[in-house]
């Protein structure tokens, strides 16, 4: 029995546990259907201020360093007396979901660590290893948000993505442990890839929130905020949190691209060569630049900006999955 | 309506305006209108989108500058699309007029945005914080406290408290106005100016830089002059005199491949031992050249970007004289280094000889024919066809050394009409049919592909990138805020202190708490306020 074996075992288990967590969160959402329609619109502004007053800790710091006491989310105050049993069920399923997510997270951390031990190096040498590391960061950020800021309502999309991500990693992207190709022997290997993984995780959180924002906003405008969506913060607040994540990720992504250019100058003798991966990194950067500009342009805030953020996320993931598997270039490290 | 007018402002001014009630723009007004449009945020957004969209085809369609061979293949395979794409510039997206137009417009728009904003910012830096609004209670955050006894110094205390919190403070008659977060706009401007400097650095590299490659066989060398390059491209302002006169001698080249079951054949080590002479008369120094460790000679860098095999071959002509002897560079065609090339013996008499075929480092035979199954030279073999023809007049015309131009040559055939195929292992030699001569595989040697180049603008771009990231962080994380404090006379010699706050960035953060805290601090007696 080797480290590599334990790594695979832990990762496969994490997929199963994440899938169970997803089911628990799905049950949480389903149970919330009983909670009925939430009164929209009129209380929006009050809610924003109330949320701001109750939760200064999230507002003051960046998304990574959220501090302050654990408090129930502002959205949870809605309609809980409607049906106490349903409310209790929602709470139970939610807690089960988070507990399972923590187990899945620990398993995937174990998977990454044993993978590193098996390979005797940082586990970021190929697509499989990058995916499992990025998923650890992604779920880690989510769990910090649950712990510090009560963002449990992200549970369903996060566990879904985590299960799919790790699931793809262990099935499609999997490659056995092997040493690095010479091009990766560089200190920039650590800098470039860690920055890419962190900004990828933050882009993903921001993108998920933007999707929830669009759904919630639509429901608010139609006055049909039902079930679990009644438990989400109001759309303006979701938009704000999404913005914080993307505003954190964008400079880091700028740095990732810059670090990649510096490394390319060392490794290939040119800092920019329009390699497909480089091109799509720039495309992603430009799309998120659009997002930031859109947020400060009249007529582009809100829905349009959120759509741009989602396009940006799609571009990021296409650059990772599509370019690795479909297009040949200098960044062909997938090893599949 | 106005767009149709401004599109041709010159023509517009020479004829009467179509509608009398529209104000005439004139050519000057038209230009100003165009400029305003170009520098608006909306245009910047559209140009950014256009840039993202325009960059995409270059990653999906093969590009001439990156892989000319794949472009040629694409044109051959797509007789309809190929020429169309070519006309649209899709094989050279990043140097095409439309791509250049987008980013140049974007940068013009950027400059047009930065200049007025810099002026506004410079004024804002000198200006006093804005006047205290009449109704502080209407601000997003508000707090009011009563002060127990008369306190004439409360405004001074308020000013001091705000200064401690890094506000710029302006004390007026009955109020204090304060603002902070000036660095946000500074960061924003620095970021955008830095982008221009990144582009300037790139432009300098393109204008004054050069890049070329040279294939160097182990045991041989490279000296830095134009004749030694296999391909070479340089900027418009580059002159041959800019080449540093160094030379590199390749003493040895180590390469190791994965032999384990996982990623079998993947490269694990490339290491070239070289002797570098910095200039004529300089003492040679020993250096090691690896993938992430380029050589630096003067302002020029030497990168190791490829390698391959050169079989050592001896060709004798029909008269038994050596017509060719030495290593022949062959170009790898796949990951296992099945290498293709041509061996030319133009000096063979009475007829010149030429061979075309494959060198296989680890040869194996199957139904597809001979091919290599591992990139290292475990079972090297050479497979060639034979061509012959009358001696050619030396024209001095350059020809491709890696492929054979069969014009004026006939293929050597067996009695049954099948082309002669020769397979050689190291040390093997065969006589050609009809007494045309002989060929022998003496051994093989590795070659490396060196990329030699200089990109003078890199330091500028690099420093600008550092500023860009710093400025970006400032512009995203600094939160400008305005706070006003007013003292109002209350009943019975009691004063009311009002505190109001306003955040100017949309990521509102703890404003209410800060305002409440300020009010609480001011409500305490001066001696209670502990110095920070």
Question: In this structure, what CATH number is given to the domain that contains residue B149?
Answer: 3.30.310.80
Percentage of the residues of chain A whose pLDDT score is greater than 70: 83
| Closest residue, chain B, to A242 (C-alpha) | B507
Letter string b/e over residues B73-102, b meaning 16 or more CB atoms within 10 A of that residue's CB: ebbeeeeeebeebeeebbbbbbebeebeeb
Per-residue CA distances from A298 to A295, B45, B469 (Å)? 8, 12, 26
- Mean pLDDT value across chain B: 85
CA distance A122 to A120: 7
Secondary structure E strands in B278-338:
285-289, 295-297, 300-316, 322-327, 331-332
- Residues B313, B444 within the same domain: yes
Determine, for residues A183 and B292 on separate chains, whether the beta-carbon distance falls below 8 Å. yes
- Residues B153, B98 within the same domain: no
B408 — pLDDT class (breaks 50, 70, 90): confident
Per-residue CA distances from B425 to A163, A269, B137, B377 (Å)? 54, 37, 94, 12
In the block, residue with structure tokens 């390469």:
B255
Whether pLDDT at A182 is above 80? no
B17 at interface of A, judged by CB pairs closer than 8 A = no
* Residue A330 CB contacts under 8 Å (≥ 6 apart), including other chains: A268, A273, A275, A277
Whether pLDDT at A18 is above 50? yes
- Mean pLDDT value across chain A: 82
Whether pLDDT at B122 is above 90? yes
- Residues B298, B316 within the same domain: no
Average pLDDT over residues A11-35: 91
3-state secondary structure of A265: helix
> Does residue B198 belong to any structural domain of this protein?
no
A41-48: Cβ within 8 A, 24+ apart: A41/A220, A41/A223, A44/A220, A44/A234, A44/A236, A47/A74, A47/A75, A47/A233, A47/A234, A47/A237, A48/A234, A48/A236, A48/A237
Determine, for residues B477 and A247 on separate chains, whether the beta-carbon distance falls below 8 Å. yes
Phi, psi torsion values for B483, nearest 5 degrees: -135, 135
Lowest mean pLDDT among B243-252, B465-474, B506-515: B506-515
Q: What is the secondary structure of A173-197 as a DSSP string? A: S-----PPPGGG-SHHHHHHHHHHH
User: What is the count of structural domains for chain B?
Assistant: 4
Sort out which chain A residues have CB atoms less than 8 A from B263's CB and list them.
175, 178, 335
Q: What is the pLDDT of residue B148?
A: 66
pTM: 0.83
ipTM: 0.81
Asked if B398 contacts B382 with a C-beta cutoff of 8 angstroms, the reply is no
- Residues B141, B104 within the same domain: no
Whether pLDDT at B46 is above 80? yes
Whether pLDDT at B450 is above 50? yes
Q: Which two tokens stand for residue B329?
A: 């560079």
> Does residue B196 belong to any structural domain of this protein?
no
Q: What is the pLDDT of residue B319?
A: 87
> Does residue B92 belong to any structural domain of this protein?
yes
**Which sequence spans correspond to the domains of chain A?**
3-233
B160 at interface of A, judged by CB pairs closer than 8 A = no
Q: What is the pLDDT of residue B149?
A: 58
- Residues B116, B35 within the same domain: yes
- Residues B279, B396 within the same domain: no
- Residues B405, B385 within the same domain: yes
Whether pLDDT at B12 is above 50? no
Task: Summarize pLDDT for A47-103 with one digit per residue, the tens.
Answer: 343 344 433 333 333 333 333 333 334 444 444 446 777 788 888 999 999 999 999
B247 vs B262 pLDDT, higher one: B247
Q: What is the pLDDT of residue B436?
A: 87
Partners of A105 in beta bridges: none
B158 vs A69 pLDDT, higher one: B158
B140 — pLDDT class (breaks 50, 70, 90): confident
Q: What is the pLDDT of residue A71?
A: 37
Q: Which two tokens stand for residue B335?
A: 């990951």
Whether pLDDT at B528 is above 70? no
Average pLDDT over residues B432-451: 91
Residue B268: which of A179, A299, A335 has the nearest Cβ?
A179
B66 — pLDDT class (breaks 50, 70, 90): confident
B261 at interface of A, judged by CB pairs closer than 8 A = yes
> Does residue B473 belong to any structural domain of this protein?
no
Residue B507: which of A240, A251, A270 has the nearest Cβ?
A240
Partners of B439 in beta bridges: B315, B430
Asked if B502 contacts B139 with a C-beta cutoff of 8 angstroms, the reply is yes
Nearest to A253 by CA among A282, A279, A295: A282
Task: Summarize pLDDT for A198-239 with one digit per residue, the tens.
Answer: 999 999 999 999 999 999 999 888 887 777 888 888 888 899
* Pairing, β B141-147 against β B495-503: antiparallel
Whether pLDDT at A111 is above 70? yes
Task: Summarize pLDDT for B284-297 with one digit per residue, the tens.
Answer: 999 999 888 899 98
Q: Which two tokens stand for residue B452?
A: 């030699």
Average pLDDT over residues A256-274: 89
> Does residue B423 belong to any structural domain of this protein?
yes
Asked if B526 contacts B162 with a C-beta cutoff of 8 angstroms, the reply is no
Whether pLDDT at B22 is above 80? no
Whether pLDDT at A46 is above 90? no
> Does residue B366 belong to any structural domain of this protein?
yes
Q: What is the pLDDT of residue A214?
A: 94
Q: What is the pLDDT of residue A249?
A: 95
Phi, psi torsion values for A177, nearest 5 degrees: -60, 135
B7 — pLDDT class (breaks 50, 70, 90): very low
CA distance A311 to B531: 51
Sort out which chain A residues have CB atoms less than 8 A from B66's CB and list them.
273-275
CA distance A99 to A231: 20
- Residues B280, B406 within the same domain: no
- Residues B314, B359 within the same domain: yes
Mutate to test the interface with A, among B40, B43, B45, B63 (most CBs of A within 10 A): B45
- The enclosing H or E element of A143 equals helix A127-149
Q: What is the pLDDT of residue A195?
A: 94
Q: Is the dihedral of CA B121, B127, B128, B131 positive or negative?
A: negative
CA distance A138 to A140: 5
Domain encompassing residue B351:
308-448
> Does residue B408 belong to any structural domain of this protein?
yes
Asked if B254 contacts B270 with a C-beta cutoff of 8 angstroms, the reply is yes
B177 — pLDDT class (breaks 50, 70, 90): very high
Task: Summarize pLDDT for A124-160 with one digit per residue, the tens.
Answer: 888 899 999 999 999 999 999 899 888 888 999 999 9
Nearest to A111 by CA among A2, A14, A1: A14
Average pLDDT over residues B47-64: 89
B198 — pLDDT class (breaks 50, 70, 90): very high
CA distance A233 to A46: 12
Q: What is the pLDDT of residue A67?
A: 33
Q: What is the pLDDT of residue B190?
A: 96
């Amino acid at each position: 029995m080797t480290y590599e074996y334990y790594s695979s075992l832990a990762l496969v288990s994490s997929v199963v546990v994440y899938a169970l967590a997803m089911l628990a969160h799905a049950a949480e959402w389903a149970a919330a259907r009983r909670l009925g329609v939430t009164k929209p619109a009129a209380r929006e502004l009050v809610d924003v201020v109330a949320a701001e007053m109750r939760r200064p800790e999230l507002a003051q710091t960046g998304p990574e360093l959220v501090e302050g006491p654990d408090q129930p989310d502002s959205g949870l105050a809605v309609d809980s007396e409607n049906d106490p049993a349903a409310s209790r069920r929602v709470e139970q399923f939610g807690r089960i979901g988070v507990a399972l997510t923590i187990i899945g997270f620990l398993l995937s951390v174990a998977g990454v660590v044993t993978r590193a031990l098996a390979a005797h190096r940082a586990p970021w040498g190929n697509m499989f290893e990058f995916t499992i590391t990025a998923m650890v960061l992604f779920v880690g950020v989510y769990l910090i948000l649950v712990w510090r800021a009560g963002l449990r309502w992200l549970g369903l999309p996060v566990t879904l993505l985590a299960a799919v991500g790790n699931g793809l990693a262990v099935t499609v992207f999997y490659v056995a442990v092997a040493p690095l190709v010479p091009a990766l022997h560089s200190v920039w290997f650590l800098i470039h890839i860690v920055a890419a993984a962190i900004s990828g995780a933050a882009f993903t959180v921001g993108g998920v929130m933007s999707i929830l924002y669009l759904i919630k906003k639509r429901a608010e405008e139609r006055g049909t905020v039902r079930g679990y969506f009644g438990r989400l913060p109001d759309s303006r607040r979701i938009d704000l949190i999404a913005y914080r994540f993307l505003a954190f990720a964008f400079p880091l992504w700028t740095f990732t691209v810059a670090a990649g250019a510096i490394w390319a100058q060392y490794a290939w003798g040119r800092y920019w060569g329009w390699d497909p991966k480089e091109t799509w990194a720039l495309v992603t950067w430009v799309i998120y630049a659009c997002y930031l500009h859109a947020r400060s342009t009249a007529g582009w805030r809100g829905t349009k900006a959120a759509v741009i953020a989602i396009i940006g996320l799609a571009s990021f993931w296409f650059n990772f999955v599509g370019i690795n598997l479909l297009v040949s270039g200098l960044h062909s490290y997938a090893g599949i | 309506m106005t767009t149709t007018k401004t599109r041709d402002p010159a023509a517009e001014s020479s004829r009467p305006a179509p509608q009398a009630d529209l104000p005439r723009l004139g050519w000057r007004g038209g230009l100003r209108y165009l400029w305003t449009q170009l520098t608006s945020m909306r245009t910047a957004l559209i140009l950014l989108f256009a840039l993202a969209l325009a960059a995409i085809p270059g990653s999906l369609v093969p590009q001439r500058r990156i892989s000319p061979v794949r472009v040629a293949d694409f044109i051959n395979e797509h007789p309809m699309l190929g020429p169309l794409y070519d006309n649209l510039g899709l094989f050279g997206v990043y140097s095409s007029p439309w791509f250049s137009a987008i980013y140049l417009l974007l940068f013009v728009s950027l400059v047009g945005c930065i200049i007025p904003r810099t002026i506004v910012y410079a004024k804002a830096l000198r200006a006093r914080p804005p006047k205290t609004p009449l109704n502080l209670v209407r601000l997003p955050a508000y707090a009011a406290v009563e002060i127990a006894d008369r306190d004439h110094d409360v405004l001074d205390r308020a000013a001091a408290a705000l200064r401690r919190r890094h506000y710029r403070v302006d004390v007026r008659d009955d109020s204090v106005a304060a603002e902070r977060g000036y660095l946000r706009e500074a960061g924003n401007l620095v970021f955008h100016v830095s982008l221009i400097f990144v582009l300037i650095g790139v432009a300098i590299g393109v204008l004054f830089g050069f890049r070329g490659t040279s294939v160097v066989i182990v045991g041989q060398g490279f000296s830095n002059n134009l004749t030694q390059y296999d391909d070479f491209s340089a900027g418009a302002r580059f002159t041959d005199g800019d080449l540093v006169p160094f030379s590199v001698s390749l003493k040895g080249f180590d390469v190791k491949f994965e032999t384990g079951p996982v990623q079998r054949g993947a490269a694990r080590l490339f290491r070239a031992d070289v002797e570098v002479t910095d200039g004529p008369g300089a003492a040679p120094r020993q250096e090691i050249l690896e993938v992430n460790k380029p050589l630096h000679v003067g302002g020029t860098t030497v990168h190791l970007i490829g390698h391959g095999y050169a079989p050592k071959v001896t060709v004798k002509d029909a008269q038994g004289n050596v017509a060719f002897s030495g290593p022949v560079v062959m170009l790898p065609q796949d990951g296992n280094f099945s290498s293709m090339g041509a061996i030319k013996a133009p000096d063979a008499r009475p007829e010149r000889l030429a061979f075309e075929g494959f060198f296989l480092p680890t040869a194996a035979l199957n139904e597809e024919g001979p091919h290599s199954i591992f990139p290292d030279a475990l079972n090297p073999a050479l497979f060639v066809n034979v061509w012959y023809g009358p001696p050619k007049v030396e024209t001095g015309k350059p020809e491709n050394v890696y492929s054979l131009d069969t014009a004026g040559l006939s293929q050597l055939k067996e009695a049954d009409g099948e082309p002669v195929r020769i397979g050689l292992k190291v040390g093997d030699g065969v006589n050609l049919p009809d007494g045309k001569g002989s060929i022998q595989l003496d051994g093989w040697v590795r070659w490396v592909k060196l990329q030699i180049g200089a990109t003078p603008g890199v330091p500028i771009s690099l420093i600008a990138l550092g500023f860009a990231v710093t400025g970006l962080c400032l512009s995203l994380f600094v939160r400008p805020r305005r706070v006003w404090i007013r003292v109002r006379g209350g009943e019975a010699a009691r004063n009311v202190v009002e505190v109001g706050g306003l955040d100017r960035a949309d990521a509102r953060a703890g404003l209410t708490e800060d305002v409440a805290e300020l009010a609480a601090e001011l409500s305490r007696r001066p001696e209670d306020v502990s110095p920070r």
